[in-house]
Structure 1
Amino acid sequence: MVAFTKSFFPLLLATLLATYVEAAPWPSYAKHSTHRRRTIGRRAISVESFQPKNTFKTFGADGPSISSAGNTLIGSSVKDSALSFLGTIGIDSTNVVYKSGFTDGSARYAYIRQTIDGIPLANGVGNVAFNGDKVVSFGSSFVDAKSAKIAPAEPTVTWTSVLPEIEDALGGKFNGQNATLEYLVQPDGSVALTHVVQIQNEETNEWFEAFVDAHTGKLVSVTDFVSHASYTVLPITKQTFEDGLETLVDPEDLSASPFGWHSIGKGNSTTTSGNNVLSFKGQQVTQESSAGLNFNAEYKDTLDPTNAVNLNAARTNAFYVMNVMHDFSYRYGFTESAFNFQLSNFGKGGKEQDRVLMSVQDASGTNNANFATPPDGQSGICRMFIWDITSPNRDGTMENDVMIHEMTHGITNRLTGGGTGRCLQTLESGGLGEGWGDAMAAWMNQNSAQTKDFVMGSYVFNNPKGLRKFPYSVNKATNPLTYGSLQRLNEVHGIGEVWANMLHNVYAVLVDERGFSEEKLTNPDGKEGNIVYMRLFMRSLSIQPCNPSFVEARDAWIQADADLYNGANRCTLFQAFASRGLGLNADNTFVDDFTVPAGC
């Protein structure tokens, strides 16, 4: 039994089961956390994705214990603990289904879905986090099924009968992944019965999860698995080709990649193909330049990227960067059981056969890059493009910050919501996703205790100001963005700049207080500020709810600190967030609040 105060039950249950229904008039930005409208497919159709408003509660270091007289759940499975917890707050286990979960030391995470008549609710999801024997957070977008208008549970239209129309509308083909039957909450509070199918176009790199009304055959919503960025061997802590190539010997981390980077199950490859990453152009990989897995082609940006030597060098750098991202994030908790990308999981949990497919100089675009994150068990696909702003053209794989940004999409989309790839789909959460990508690139590029301003995409864009409106900076004269800026922003990259700059400020104060470690990639147990920052960065992703808001993402950082450091950095974090308007009393109206908790 979980012990709560008497007032907790009715308050949580009432907010938890309150079906979200649109009301007017509201400012357009009020829908950032629940909606996102996209124009997609060859017919340029407009489709709106919707996530019921989240309830998210963190409990700090004093969360309720999972125990009762004569009955302890300590040591129980993540599933049993989560379902038992839900029972204590009045949610019948017959109305939910356990989706996924994992354990990371004393921390445990469970991801659940609401069900109606045994059918899962696609956007009625929840997550429970435990630290030892305590509940530390609970988030959910559950709806009140008793009051909602719910479509009949038996389909009257088959998905195969309307598949040609859906394929035509979205400009792709059904990719053979099993179709599912799921309920979907609509913006007006009604609940549609939907067939869920994946539609993919490998030539244009479009990859959608289509929700098709099982009674009308109409497309009612989409999940877009592809995250786009507007901005690519360099050592991972160098940013661009201009910083200088180096020859690195045995850079793999055997704690994260125990059989090295070239393991492919039945021995080793001698190409840019391995357990974590396959780096290629078209059907071609880069072969070792000499025996012993030596990949020494040297890139020259005075030549076109498609030059044979440059192409080999580009595939090699892409292979290197993505493998380092795999290894370092593994150290910080993005492991097999936590839904990472690997061909083989070595019996450590999670789903296999989903290494990252890294398409270099991809023919489907220019002046960009993107990362598609399908559910655990399906490969993430990163496409890197040539940039034609200069002559000769420049290759995105020669700017590490672009590739780091893209791989971070894979990490954040997998860790948020339990490996589904569905949980950064609203406008606000999509913006958070872009912000995390820039923040990760900035973290990689900080090389001393003196936090420097950071600019994204300066090399490929051939502009020292880079691709963003402002450099990331603690100086408000250099970067004036605050939480209130979201009132005038309605695009994910612009929203992401606000979040990334907030995290830049968080990083700076932690390093100022705790110092800097050069072992940040391999020693997640260090006490220095840059390591503490990344521990909180990664832990918060698993704590936060599906499609989080800025406020919920901030609260997840605060809870992560309570879990990992007993709240030692709580005031530091609040002061940093509040300095950019995301203070204690900030809400979803995007009004700046600079309040910090009492005692801070």
Structure 2
Amino acid sequence: MTLFSTPSGRRALVLATALALPGLAAAQQPAPTAALSAFAAKGKAQGLTAADVANPIITSSYFDASTGLTHTYLQQQVNGLAVFGATGAVHTDNTGKVVFSTQDFVKGAAAIAPSATPALSPDQAVAAAALGLGLPRPVALRTVTDARAADGVVFNNGGISENDIPVRLMYTRVDDKLVLVWNVTIAQLDQQHHWNARVDAQTGRLVEQNDYTVSEQTSFNQFRLNAQRKQEKALAYSQAATPAAPLSVTGTTAAGSLTVIPLPLESPSQGSRTAVPLAPVGAPYSPYGWHVAQAPAGTYADSYSFLSTGKYITRGNNVAAYDDNSNTVSGPGATNYATAASAPDGGSTLNFDFPFVQSTGARTNLNAATTNLFYVNNMMHDVMMAHGFDEASGNFQYKNATGQGVGGDPVRAESQDGSGRNNANFSTPNDGTSGTMQMYLWDNQSNNLTITGTGTGAAAVAGVYRFSTVAFGPSLSKKPLNGKLVLVNDGVSADGGDHGCKTYVNAADVQGNIAFIQRGGCPQLQLTPKMTNAFATKVKLAQANGATGVIVFDSLATTNQVNFGGTDTVGIRIPAIFISGADGFKLRAAMLNGATLNGSAQTVVNADWDGSFDNGIMSHEYGHGISNRLTGGPNNSSCVLQNVGTSTAPIYTQCMGEGWSDFFALWMTTKPGEDGSANRYVGTYVEGQTSATGPGIRTKPYSTKFSSNNLTYGAISSTSQYGTGYQESHSLGEIWTSTLWDLNWQFIYKYGYNTDIYGSTGGNNKLLKLVLDACKIQVCNPGFLDGRDAILRADSLTNRAANSALIWNVFARRGMGYSALPGDRINGTPRASNIKEAFDLPPTVKLVALASKNTTGVGPALEAYPNPAQDRLTVRTQLNSAAPIQVAVIDLLGKTVLQASVAAAQMQQSGVELNTSRLATGLYVIRVTTTEGNFTTKVTIQH
């Protein structure tokens, strides 16, 4: 597929593709000789041989005007070939002095590298990659750009790729050896994957692959609330830099404007749509303006033809936004993206004001959705450019005003994309090839489980509960779920046998009724070859015991989230649903007390939700482009891997890409006057939920309060508490986001909040800048502790370590303290391997009194929650102590009414839970006594 219809556009794409190959890109970069010599010397001191560090490939090198540093990114080469994933970097100040360097080169590479002579030709490698990826065989494959195998050959799309197909000979690491491979890059026609596939250059076997496309995780299949979304009061929005503050909606007279959901509002549920001005030509971070028609003749518009004369559509230097509902704006030779037929037309006055009424259906709101998509992408471009994601570092633009970086890559933003549902994704090829954002429609349905009953306690639990559908068995529309609920008893599993692990003891009672089953608890449950998940197996077992339907409830009584995956191809004939642990244990208790309960499940389908109206999700997706382009340099988009290895031999990483993206989404949608202690959610709009109560599409809300979000580094490996749930990439990201979010608010409490989100002052701006700077200097495919160290290093380089103690204290609170161990960043074992959390500080770093909205200087993270408390109170602190910490609850008369002695390590990790059920309602003082002093806070007991 060509990005633009003009011949010059096609040439730009070929050039961009060529520059994306590190071997060719190196020829465009100056060689910082002194820096490379220093890098080599340090590498040899770290155990590398002289051959290992000889003549590394310079994948990119640029001067960062925002910090005064020059970032040079390297790739190891052996026998004249690059080694995939063997990367390094050297960062120098404006005098040329090396201030920081990293490397992950292969030691003794020459000794373990096989011959550099392949058995397969490059075109055979394309066919082998297509076979390994399950794609059609390429047809009419021909060479577009010929070059040495080490530099890369470029083929046409072969009928299987959106873009031309680069093929490059290199090595890759497999365990303790190097394998000669062809690296083949194929952008699937449905845009679901943009593969880098490495096939064995001797046999054609698929060795490993990674994906430039990152998608949302939908296996959680969260509940839809049956309550109507609560309309919240619109909050004032102020921004001092371009684009200006929102205008009033003035209908057809609002020339040069977009009617959108203005940031920082997250969605239509938070306030009204408003007309905002298009950034004009000469704007600080969009010098060509947001819209192509604004550019003066002879500069930009002349080189960017309209494809449809006289039409003024949502396309400009930073982004082209368009409708891809038919999923046809892709494929070899396609030239119809962002045309008048697929994008809103604002007319010659550039008035992009289109109606939006949710109940009328997504297609009637298409123009409004695409306009909002265009707006958010432009805002992300401008705000992030203001904080350092600029042309030199690989941002997304058709034309680069400074001449730095590679142009020709505005974001392709596709609204109501027809290739999927209930999801979103972003593809990030190397600098010079467009990133692609696909926004989907989301199901808008109310899943209502109505419970009635008789007997003791039945009236107390009667009502309507929400549920999740499952990925197997008949739908409720084909086979309704109605009848009596019977708690199963398998006679073997814990908690009364209700996990349904084997043939039921009470099969006669279950016969003809709905089996009520607790999740998990069946390590001995055997999966059949065609049943890939224990959930489906449980349902199949209930069917064998005569059940007419199944309700599974979560095994955690406090959760309101669900995860019900699995497939079945061997004959599940009864319907099944999933409810939360909070609801499930409530119904379970009633049945155990003698109540007879009946249930009826019904799904009501309404007009779809549109992801292009969820500013948080769009900001999240754009965030993948940011972290991918900044980490490892703009010409290596394989430095934030999430999908790597093969389906049969996965390679796990500690990548935090989802974490950065959630952080960017939260940052962009923070409103003046908010506080970090509030619960923030992701994806509430597309789930039909209120933004105030969630739960959205994450397992926990984001909050600085540990009572709302207690995620720590150890959640990755704490299978006893979390199962393996926090080894999945999105849940893994939640831990990283939670830490960045804490840090964001500590910066705001220290430096204040600046409503000018393009500025350099204010804690919010300072922290965002620091996060972007850290991405530029962190190692390729970093782990959590690498990310922590990069933030500390960035603060040292740009702020003279002014925030070092604060940063250490925040990370220590989330388990990433001084003694924490990283495990393997990239390995063939689960992400939890060898990870150890710790809550201590370096010997030279002092405890910092972490602030909150209402109290500052209350002792380092001394927390007592919930507050007000009823029967249980948790006290937690980050204080160190050479002796056990003494915890006391003191009434207003000074009498100690509760006390406990707790090891410091326990207090740092989970705290101590106190039974306050016998305390009278009132105000109490919590005092903790350590070898470093006494600290207090107040709490209310309220029964």
CA distance in 1, matches of 2:343, 2:124: 43
What is the CA distance between 1:210 and its match in structure 2?
0.9
Aligned with 2:205 (options 201, 212, 218): 218
The range that moved more, 555-564 or 419-428, is: 419-428
Residue deviations 1:150-192 (CA, integer Å, cap 9, x gap):
1211111113124334213324425423311111111x21101
Label 1:119 to 1:552 Cα distance change in 2 as closer, same or farther (>3 A). same
Distance across 2 between alignment mates of 1:486 and 1:462: 30
Q: Deviations over 1:338-383 (max 9, x none)?
A: 1111111135211121111011100010000000111111111110
Structure 2 partner of 1:460: 686
Indicate which of 266, 273, 279 corresponds to 2:301: 266
Mapped partners of 1:560, 1:404: distance in 2? 24
In the other structure, the counterpart of 1:594 is: 839
1:451-600 equivalent positions in 2, closer than 5 A: 451=676, 452-463=678-689, 464-487=694-717, 488=724, 489-520=726-757, 522-523=758-759, 525-526=760-761, 528-588=762-822, 589-597=834-842, 598-600=844-846
Q: Determine if contact 1:401/1:441 at 8 Å carries over to the other structure.
A: yes
| Aligned counterparts of 1:587 and 1:131: Cα–Cα separation in 2 | 31
Question: Measured at CA, do residues 499 and 132 of structure 1 come closer, stay the same or move farther in structure 2, by a change above 3 Å?
Answer: same
Q: Deviations over 1:213-259 (max 9, x none)?
A: 1111111111201011247x111211112122111123468111101
Equivalent residue for 1:154?
117
Alignment pair present for 1:184 and 2:212: no
Does the CA contact (< 8 Å) of 2:684 and 2:695 recur in 1?
A: yes
For 2:654 and 2:680, the matched residues in 1 are separated by 21
2:371 alignment counterpart: 316
Rate the CA distance shift 1:289–1:162 in 2: closer, same or farther, 3 A: closer
Alignment match, 2:431? 376
Q: Say whether 1:328 aligns with 2:383.
A: yes
**1:148 and 1:191 in contact (8 A); partners too:** no
Question: Structure 2 counterpart of 1:84, which letter?
Answer: S
Is contact 2:428-2:435 (8 Å) kept?
yes
Which of 376, 398, 421 is the matching residue for 2:637? 421
Q: How does 1:52-451 map to 2 (within 5 A)?
A: 79-89=32-42, 90=44, 91=50, 94-105=54-65, 106-133=68-95, 134-146=97-109, 148-172=111-135, 173-174=160-161, 175-186=163-174, 188-203=175-190, 205-230=192-217, 233-243=260-270, 244-251=272-279, 254-263=283-292, 265-267=300-302, 270-282=312-324, 283=337, 284-307=341-364, 310-390=365-445, 391-419=606-634, 420-425=636-641, 431-448=655-672, 450-451=675-676
Which protein has the bigger helix share? 1
Larger relative contact order, structure 1 or 2 (CA cutoff 8 Å, min sep 6): 1
What secondary structure sits across from 2:379 in the alignment?
helix
Question: Which residue pairs with 1:42 in the alignment?
Answer: none
Conserved? CA contact 2:194–2:427, under 8 Å: yes
Q: What is the rounded CA distance, in whole Å, between the counterparts of 1:149 and 1:364 in structure 2?
A: 43
Q: Number of paired residues?
A: 518
TM-score norm. by structure 2 comes to 0.53
Alpha-carbon RMSD = 2.0
Structure 1 counterpart SS, 2:354: coil
Indicate the larger mover: 200-209 or 481-490.
200-209
The percentage of aligned residue pairs carrying the same residue is 31
Distance in structure 1 (CA, Å) of the matches to 2:323 and 2:756: 33
Q: Is the 8 A contact 1:510 1:530 kept in 2?
A: yes
Using the size of structure 1 for normalisation, the TM-score is 0.83
Q: Structure 1 residue 482: deviation in Å?
A: 0.2
1:75-132 Cα distance to aligned partner (Å, 9 max, x none): x966334312223323566341111021113111110011101111111111122233
Structure 2 SS opposite 1:151: coil
Q: d(CA) in 1 for partners of 2:206 and 2:753?
A: 51
- SS at structure 2 position matched to 1:388: strand
CA distance in 2, matches of 1:156, 1:517: 60
The residue aligned with 2:23 is none
Give the deviation of 1:426 after TM superposition: 5.0
CA distance in 2, matches of 1:406, 1:334: 15
Letter aligned with residue 493 of structure 1: H
Distance, in Å, in 2 between the alignment partners of 1:430 and 1:352 is 31
Q: Partners of 2:655 and 2:215 in 1: how far apart?
A: 11
One-letter amino acid of the counterpart of residue 435, structure 1: G
2:654–2:783 contact (8 Å) kept in structure 1: no
Q: Which letter does structure 1 place at the counterpart of 2:396?
A: F
Question: Contact 2:672/2:753 (CA < 8 Å) preserved in 1?
Answer: yes
Aligned partner of residue 258 in structure 1, secondary structure: strand
Contact residue 356 and residue 379 of structure 1 kept, 8 A: yes
CA contact (8 A) 1:195 1:213 kept: yes
Q: CA deviation at 1:204?
A: 5.1
Deviations 1:539-596 (A, max 9, x none): 0000101100000011000011111111000011111111100112211133221112
Deviation at 1:324, TM superposition (A): 0.8
5+ residue gaps, structure 2 = 1-28, 45-49, 136-159, 219-259, 294-299, 307-311, 325-336, 446-605, 644-651, 718-723, 823-833, 847-943
Map of 1:37 onto structure 2:
none
Q: How far apart in 2 are the matches of 1:301 and 1:107?
A: 49
Q: Distance in 2 between matches of 1:532 and 1:78?
A: 32
Q: How far did 1:468 drift?
A: 0.4
The code of the aligned residue for 1:170 comes to: L
Q: Structure 2 counterpart of 1:85, which letter?
A: A
SS in 1 for 2:371: helix
Counterparts of 1:429 and 1:411, CA distance in 2: 19
Q: The residue matched to 1:532 in structure 2 has which SS?
A: helix
Consecutive unaligned residues of structure 1, counting only runs of 5 or more, are 1-75
Structure 1 pair 457/146, CA: closer, same or farther in 2 (3 Å)?
A: closer
Are 2:313 and 2:346, in contact at CA under 8 Å, matched by a contact in 1? no
- 1:517 to 1:81, Cα distance in 2 relative to 1, 3 A: farther
In structure 2, the CA distance between the partners of 1:415 and 1:81, relative to structure 1 (3 Å rule), is farther
Deviations 1:445-494 (A, max 9, x none): 22235333310001101232111010001111111110000114221001
